[in-house]
A and B are shown apart, each in its own frame.
Chain A
Amino acid sequence: MEPSTHIAPPAPSAARLIATDGVVKRFGAVTALDGVTLALDAAATGLLGVNGAGKSTLMRILLGLVRPDAGRVEVLGVDAARHRGELRRRLGYMPERDCLPLEMTARDLVVHMAELRGLPRRAAVLRASEVLFQVGLEEERSRLIRTFSTGMRQRTKLAQALVHSPELVVLDEPTNGLDPSGREEMLSLVRRLSSELGIAVMLSSHVLEDVTRTCDAVVVLREGRVVTSGRLDAMEGVADRGLLVRATGDLDRFAAALGARGLAASRGDGGVVVAGAPEDALLDGVRDAAAESGIALRELRPAGPTLEDALVEALG
């Protein structure tokens, strides 16, 4: 048995999931990545960017499929350029394109992939059965992939990405072609990966909702550079855009009651926007004004750009 190259496990505090430093990659005259520097350690990170922004190139570099022209790349604490073989076994990848062998059964494929990543046969068979159940393919696993619908193929791709117990899994457009219930199930699965199963996730998608529902942090690429990188909850709503109140009833009386409390109100966004930071005094004032004026509250939340608005703006 050939021993694998010995990598000293990185010290827990020092380990980042993904760390890049000044990564550059050119294809002929096109510069796909122009100095990308990242430090990611959220459990689930979304990767966003318009077509041609460099997303797929970055993913391929992280997976060790492409060597950067300049810069360092470390994934799971390991130099991606030098220890690609080792890294390959600790990562999972769910590609966007069709890549499943049509003449194999789902079970055979997943077992085979497990074996290729070093699992002995018995363990491979056991884990394949388990992971196929986790993604909801237990009934179809003996059928040829050729007979599978889009949803089943996506699940198969996900299963093969998880079977060897990777520490980080990269998902490229996992909801492609799925109908609403399929999307719902896939997004729940993806959320569970990082929240319950302890597998770090990097997800790239054109549908912002995929990212906002499943990720804790986001990286936005534009023209080969990072324009935004950080936690999602830090990006939502600007603090002082005010409070949005949607209600039915005598809204004029409500506005007057607000005014009596020294709060400025204006109509907008389908309701009443109360200016000021949504702090305690403001919240209580709104509540009391509502109680006084007898309006029927329907919605109460911070006004201002939603997370999706902020992301679209960052995309450029």
Chain B
Amino acid sequence: MSALVFDGVSRWYGDTVALADITFALAPGVTGLLGHNGAGKSTALKLGAGFTRPSAGSVRVLGQDLSASPAAYRRLGIAHDRDALWPFLTARATVALCARLRGARDPEAAAGRALAEVGLAEVADRRVGGFSHGMRQRVKLAQALAHEPELLLLDEPLNGLDPAQRRHIVELIMRLGDEGRTVLVSSHVLHEVERMAPRVLVLVNGHLVASGATPAIRDLIAERPRSIRLRADDARGLGRELIGAGLVESVRFEDGAMVVEAGDVERLGRELPRLARDAGVRLRRMEPVGDDLESVYAYLNERARGVGR
């Protein structure tokens, strides 16, 4: 049973449509929530957290309607960028309070563990009021996971963190997914999302444009040929051979490398070493281009926009 199910959900505020007819069911593990500013990510997270109700459709959290059964809140963890923390409480007190409200069995211990997980063990007994943005973000994250929830909704948890902290939190989130929890993470830094989330939901202008694993989404984009960047001695000679053998649709040269487009990447990969060897061309480097989340996301946005900027 999926931890978070949206069924035909729409949400509007007056004349503004925040979400239009969204349907998905989250699988266990980490799912990335992507979208441009204003696409509806925050609204989707608010609906999942029970902060607001859909204008149409239904949201089921852990199989239940949150407004009908508040007990589900105990199995749900939320970290929202916009929440305020009470500045006069210590980090430990803040997290323990939330843990207690959410029914954790030993709130103090849970708070200590959660703060250690996010790397705030040393400052656990300092007042939150003096914390930097990154530290506050981590306190919220600790609040979200202290009571060991099954479903976690995280809104831009890496905001304000320096590179080492970012890595640490990415690894933490991956661990949470490996433990079988369902985690929905929104972020703008796509290569980080790619590392921690095997699946993504892509929102464009309030609509759900794609969902699933990135490589699978890529496969569905049939109209775009695959690109591969090659570095070789005598790249031009190699390019000629590849075209002659009908293995690539186009060849271009860019930044000292050769980028080819091929319909059948597997066939290209098999024939390439043979061709290179027979032509006496040394292969130095081969990298797929545009299969990453960044490119897939850009393509989905482009396609959704049709005509326009």
A and B, direct touch (CB closer than 8 Å): yes
**Which residues of A are at the interface with B, using a C-beta cutoff of 8 A?**
48-51, 149-151, 177-184, 206-209, 247-249, 278, 280, 283-284, 286-288, 290-291, 294-301, 311-312, 315-316
* Beyond known contacts A180-B190, A249-B270: 13 more, CB 8 A cutoff: A151-B37, A179-B35, A182-B37, A183-B189, A184-B294, A207-B163, A209-B189, A287-B276, A288-B273, A291-B276, A291-B277, A294-B270, A298-B288
Contact, CB under 8 Å: B162 / A247: no
Given contacts A149-B37, A151-B37, A206-B163, contact A179 B285 (CB under 8 A): no
Q: Please list the 6 inter-chain residue pairs (A to B) with the smallest Cβ-Cβ separation, ordered nearest first.
A: A296-B269, A290-B273, A291-B273, A300-B286, A296-B270, A291-B274
Contact, CB under 8 Å: B36 / A179: yes
Contact, CB under 8 Å: B163 / A311: yes
Q: Which of B134, B191, B282, B288 contacts A284 (CB 8 A)?
A: B282
Stretch among B51-59, B84-92, B93-101, B164-172 lining the A interface? B164-172
Closest beta carbon of chain A to B204's beta carbon, Å: 11
**Which of B34, B265, B267, B284 gathers the greatest number of chain A CB atoms within 10 Å?**
B284
Contact, CB under 8 Å: B165 / A50: yes
Q: Which of B37, B164, B167, B273 contacts A297 (CB 8 A)?
A: B273
**Which residues of B are at the interface with A, using a C-beta cutoff of 8 A?**
34-39, 132, 134, 160-167, 188-191, 265-270, 272-274, 276-277, 282-288, 294, 297-298, 301
Query: What residue of chain B has the Cβ atom nearest to residue A183's Cβ?
Result: B188
Q: Count contacts between A and B, CB distance < 8 Å.
A: 110
Contact, CB under 8 Å: B286 / A301: yes
Closest beta carbon of chain A to B64's beta carbon, Å: 32
Q: Which residues of chain A have C-beta atoms less than 8 A from B163's C-beta?
A: 48, 50, 206-208, 311-312, 315
Given contacts A180-B294, A288-B273, A312-B167, contact A300 B36 (CB under 8 A): no
Contact, CB under 8 Å: B286 / A50: no
Q: Which residues of chain A have C-beta atoms less than 8 A from B286's C-beta?
A: 297-301
Q: Which residues of chain B have C-beta atoms less than 8 A from A315's C-beta?
A: 162-164
Closest beta carbon of chain B to A173's beta carbon, Å: 10
Q: How far does the alpha carbon of A287 sit from the alpha carbon of B286 in the complex, in Å?
A: 11
Q: How far does the alpha carbon of A48 sit from the alpha carbon of B191 in the complex, in Å?
A: 19
Q: Which residues of chain B have C-beta atoms less than 8 A from A283's C-beta?
A: 282-284
Q: How far does the alpha carbon of A33 sit from the alpha carbon of B130 in the complex, in Å?
A: 22
Contact, CB under 8 Å: B164 / A312: yes
Closest beta carbon of chain B to A260's beta carbon, Å: 15
Query: What residue of chain A has the Cβ atom nearest to residue B297's Cβ?
Result: A180
Q: How far does the alpha carbon of A300 sit from the alpha carbon of B283 in the complex, in Å?
A: 9
Q: 28 A–B contact pairs at CB < 8 A?
A: A51-B162, A150-B37, A151-B37, A179-B188, A180-B34, A206-B166, A248-B266, A278-B284, A280-B282, A284-B282, A287-B276, A287-B282, A287-B283, A288-B273, A290-B273, A294-B270, A295-B270, A296-B266, A296-B270, A297-B269, A297-B272, A297-B273, A300-B285, A300-B286, A300-B287, A301-B286, A301-B287, A312-B163
Q: Which of A149, A288, A299, A300 contacts B277 (CB 8 A)?
A: A288
Query: What residue of chain A has the Cβ atom nearest to residue B274's Cβ?
Result: A291
Q: Which residues of chain A have C-beta atoms less than 8 A from B190's C-beta?
A: 180
Q: How far does the alpha carbon of A146 sit from the alpha carbon of B166 in the complex, in Å?
A: 31
Q: How far does the alpha carbon of A49 sit from the alpha carbon of B287 in the complex, in Å?
A: 30
Q: How far does the alpha carbon of A181 sit from the alpha carbon of B167 in the complex, in Å?
A: 22
Closest beta carbon of chain B to A176's beta carbon, Å: 9
Closest beta carbon of chain B to A51's beta carbon, Å: 5
Q: Which of A51, A149, A291 contacts B132 (CB 8 A)?
A: A51
Contact, CB under 8 Å: B277 / A298: no
Q: How far does the alpha carbon of A288 sit from the alpha carbon of B288 in the complex, in Å?
A: 21
Q: Which residues of chain B have C-beta atoms less than 8 A from A177's C-beta?
A: 37
Q: Which residues of chain B have C-beta atoms less than 8 A from A312's C-beta?
A: 163-164, 167
Q: Which residues of chain B have C-beta atoms less than 8 A from A209's C-beta?
A: 189, 191
Contact, CB under 8 Å: B274 / A247: no
Q: How far does the alpha carbon of A316 sit from the alpha carbon of B167 in the complex, in Å?
A: 12
Query: What residue of chain B has the Cβ atom nearest to residue A210's Cβ?
Result: B189
Given contacts A206-B162, A300-B283, A312-B163, contact A184 B298 (CB under 8 A): yes
Contact, CB under 8 Å: B164 / A316: yes
Q: Which residues of chain A have C-beta atoms less than 8 A from B298's C-beta?
A: 180-181, 184
Q: How far does the alpha carbon of A68 sit from the alpha carbon of B167 in the complex, in Å?
A: 33
Q: Which residues of chain B have C-beta atoms less than 8 A from A296's C-beta?
A: 266-270
Q: How far does the alpha carbon of A284 sit from the alpha carbon of B232 in the complex, in Å?
A: 11
Q: Which residues of chain A have C-beta atoms less than 8 A from B164's C-beta?
A: 50, 312, 315-316
Q: How far does the alpha carbon of A297 sit from the alpha carbon of B269 in the complex, in Å?
A: 4
